[in-house]
Amino acid sequence: MATKDLAGLRKEFTRGGLAPENLATDPRQQLQLWLDEAIAVEHTEPNAMTLATAGADGRPHARVVLLKGLEEGGLVFYTNYQSAKGREMAENPWVSVLFFWPLLERQVRVEGKVQQLPSELSDAYFASRPRVSQLGAWASPQSEEVSAYEVLEQRFREVEERFKGRPVPRPPHWGGYLLVPDSYEFWQGRPGRLHQRYRYVSSEGSDWRREVLAP
């Protein structure tokens, strides 16, 4: 049975502990430090994060998106406003993201509210994307059902012809979000499943308070 087969995949964590005195006071700085270390060890997609959203019906959905910036106010990512996640965030701005870096035996959870970025910031980022990605943002009706993959290829060709010889503008349905956190949790794997968990919490702009959680 599958359960028996999966039992053999158990991994023992071997890395040392995370001393509380070495944690940054600001959780955003701590996240930047861990992200830099993931990049340094050439982790696959170190800025990949699982984004969990829930619409008005309360049903959660998760998918992987890419972190595109750590700003003073929070975490920046981009997507289609009309996608399933875009519609859910319009109904319910509370979200959670998860980073997982198995090479470092680390996880980070960040929770808070999202808000759309100003259009000028979305314009600037869109202009920096590869042209093929810009065209794809116009061609794909993200999360909508299509009759066949060939439909998407045809839409791409049409968009490619439409913008031939000129810059591709940002679609009005595509742009950035800022996740404004009220909670960060840093997880470090330890031997014997005695993992370390440190949570930073803030309420209405107050200073960050750090808590130690049992694994």
User: Rounded CA gap, 137 and 67, in Å?
Assistant: 18
Q: Which residue is listed with tokens 């830099």?
A: 36
- Cβ(57)–Cβ(65) under 8 Å? no
Burial class (CB in 10 A: 0-12, 13-18, 19+), 25: exposed
Provide the 10 A C-beta neighbour count for residue 81: 19
Paired tokens of 178 = 């800022």
Burial class (CB in 10 A: 0-12, 13-18, 19+), 186: buried
Catalytic positions, written as ranges? 193
Q: How many residues does the chain have?
A: 215
- Cβ(68)–Cβ(78) under 8 Å? yes
User: Rounded CA gap, 70 and 57, in Å?
Assistant: 30
